[in-house]
Amino acid sequence: MNSENKHLYTHTVQYYETDRMQVTHHSNYIRWMEEARVAFLHDIGWDYEKLEEKGVFSPVIRVDVSYKNSTTFADVVEVYTWVKEFRGVKLVIGYEMKKQDGTLVCEAVSEHCFLNSEGKPVRVNREMPEFYEALQP
């Protein structure tokens, strides 16, 4: 996928995100994925507040992360986010994280479903066509 189709979110590594070896703890990359996903949805006009007002929730059902290089305190990490796949039920988002010098630090995907307030699946393509169209790759 070319860079025009990817959403950019920038994160600066905080001191508290590092361990005693001054390396970013692996769990933080998943947090940055969520930050980037929230920013992406906001930027396409479908932030979590809007979804929840409509009674729709989107839990994470799978995360797959491949760590390539480490980051340390004060590194600026560019998190690129894009929709890898979405057919109306399961949303798959891709992530690529790089330091500003272009060093790849992480590649990942997260999968999400959509549920109504009763916990039943929402077929977004049928029940929320505007949101469905906004998520098309």
* Per-residue pLDDT tens digits for 102-113: 999 999 999 999
* Domain formed by 3-134, architecture: Roll (3.10)
SS (H, E, C) the chain: CCHHHCEEEEEECCHHHECCCCEECCHHHHHHHHHHHHHHHHHCCCCHHHHHHCCEECCEEEEEEEECCCCECCCEEEEEEEEEEECCCCEEEEEEEEECCCCEEEEEEEEECCEECCCCECCHHHHCHHHHHHCCC
**Residue 5 clears pLDDT 90, i.e. is over it:** no
Per domain, the residue ranges of the chain are 3-134
pLDDT per residue over 77-136, tens digit each? 999 999 999 999 999 999 999 999 999 999 999 999 999 999 999 999 999 999 999 999
Residue 64's pLDDT band (boundaries 50, 70, 90)?
Answer: very high
What is the pTM assigned to this prediction? 0.92
Task: Indicate which residues carry an active-site annotation.
Answer: 19
The yes-or-no verdict on residue 68 having pLDDT over 90 is yes
